[in-house]
Amino acid sequence: MLGPEQPAEVSQPAVDRMVADALAAFAAAGSSAELKAARLAHTGEKSPLALANRAIGTLPGTERKEAGQRLGLARAAVQQRLADREGELSAAELAEQLVAERIDVTLPVEIAPQGAPHPITALIDLMGDVFIAMGWEIAEGPQAEGEWLNFDALNLGPDHPARGTSDTLFVAPIDHHMVLRTHTSPVQVRTMLDREPPIYVVCPGKVYRADEFDATHVPVFHQIEGLCIDKGISLAHLKGTLDHLAKAMFGDDIETRMRPHYFPFTEPSAEVDLQCFVCHGASVGNPDAPCRTCKSQGWIEWGGCGVVNPRVLLSCGIDPEVYSGFAFGMGIERTLMFRNNAADMRDMVEGDVRFSRSLKGMAR
């Protein structure tokens, strides 16, 4: 490039060279950015052609006209070639971009990441459905519950150890006698107080106990409890109902047994066990093949049950001479553990959607 102080050459060979240089630079430019640099160098204000053009004014008249024409043609030729090259390069770049950014619009897309119902929710629904199919109803109640409804009405006297602060979470101030319900049985009390028998309800929901947080305990968990009050209800109805629920949960092969127990609100009371679904009882008395799941007992505890204590009926305004009933309750987390091999209860509260997805569709 000529410096501004040097006289610019405007002869035909000199102008031809400038044009040839410009065209060569345009041809060599492989991208819009390179072409821009070539354009500034060969058509910009300080380009040889611009300087030559500016020098025309200093020439004597005859030469000026000729040089003017020569430079006019030269610059027009350069501009034309520049425009052509710009067109070529942008077309090539567009074609490249179209290939690079190509998307297959026929591919299926996940519009939003999909969650899954929480397995506890799904299992509550499933267990509820078993009862709805038999004509029962679902009842719900508050989680912060009156102490009387949670304990006294259920024949858990003031001295019952479960009322102590070690098991029960009290809501401050303590003289308001509110607790976080330790079981869903107060919902059954509310139902009996509200309605006349016959009563067939299941009460699922969250319950609270001052418990450890480990693989088999969580301080907030879920129960489902059932209550039936009608004329002529006996232990046999309870056994039949529990067997039906167990089969619906674990399959037709499941064996259950009732083992005598004590609950203040039922009499007689029992714990309901499931036959161990790992060893099916084969580990009992067989030290060569111990079973970790049932600790070689052959059975695992599922829940509690019994015939409703007449004292409970009386506190709820139901005549025990006319009506009798049964009640049962079991943990949903435990049921999920047994049913779906969910070994660690902590997975059930951590809210990782992968856990929910892994049990998706378990409901049926």
Taking CB under 6 A as the rule, does residue 225 contact ligand PHE? yes
Using CB under 6 A, which of the segments 244-252, 277-285, 298-306, 341-349 binds ligand PHE? 298-306
Distance CA 80, CA 23 (A): 10
Q: Which of 333, 354, 304 is nearest to 218 (CA)?
A: 333
Q: Which is nearer to ligand PHE, 185 or 241 (CB)?
A: 185
What residues between 19 and 48 interact with ligand PHE by CB under 6 A? Answer: none
Q: Which is nearer to ligand PHE, 67 or 274 (CB)?
A: 274
**Alpha carbon distance 265, 242 (integer Å):** 18
- Alpha-carbon separation of residue 50 from 19, 47, 53, 59 (angstroms): 12, 5, 5, 15
Among 52, 218, 307, 327, which residue sits at the site for ligand PHE (rule: CB under 6 A)?
327
Binding of ligand PHE by 136 (CB under 6 A): no
Q: How far is the CB of 110 from ligand PHE (least distance, A)?
A: 42
Candidate ranges 12-20, 107-115, 116-124, 303-311; the one touching ligand PHE (CB under 6 A) = 303-311
Render 122-188 in DSSP notation, one character per residue: HHHHHHHHHHHTTT-EE----SEEEHHHHTGGGT--TT-GGGSTTT--EESSGGG-EEE-SSSHHHH
Give the residue, chosen from 305, 307, 318, 332, that forms a contact with ligand PHE under the rule CB under 6 A.
Answer: 305
Q: Assess contact for 290 and 283: CB atoms under 8 A.
A: yes
Q: Which is nearer to ligand PHE, 238 or 359 (CB)?
A: 238
Q: Is residue 306 involved in binding ligand PHE (CB under 6 A)?
A: yes
Determine the number of helices (DSSP H) and then strands (DSSP E) in the chain: 12, 10
Q: In the complex with ligand PHE, which residue's Cβ is closer, 155 or 275?
A: 155
Name the minimum Å distance from CB 208 to ligand PHE: 11
Confirm or reject binding of residue 304 to ligand PHE (CB under 6 A): yes
**For the chain, first and last CA: distance in Å?**
83
Specify the 3-state DSSP secondary structure of 75: helix
Q: Is 316 in the site for ligand PHE (CB under 6 A)?
A: no
Report in angstroms how near the CB of residue 285 gets to ligand PHE at its nearest: 30
Nearer to ligand PHE, 21 or 145 (CB): 145
User: Does residue 185 belong to the site contacting ligand PHE (CB under 6 A)?
Assistant: yes
183 binds ligand PHE per the rule CB under 6 A:
yes
Q: Which residue has the tokens 């949670």?
A: 150
Residue 20 CB contacts under 8 Å (≥ 6 apart), including other chains: none
Q: Report d(CA 286, CA 278) in Å as an integer.
A: 14
Q: Would you state the structure tokens that stand for residue 355, as one six-digit string?
A: 């856990």
**Contact call for residues 208 and 142 (beta carbons, < 8 A):** no
328 binds ligand PHE (CB under 6 A): yes
> Which of residues 146 and 306 has its CB atom nearest to ligand PHE in the complex?
306
Cα–Cα nearest to 150, from 120, 190, 192: 190
Size of the site for ligand PHE (CB under 6 A): 11
Residue 329 sits in the site that holds ligand PHE (CB under 6 A): yes
Binding site for ligand PHE (CB under 6 A): 183, 185, 225, 263, 266, 304-306, 327-329
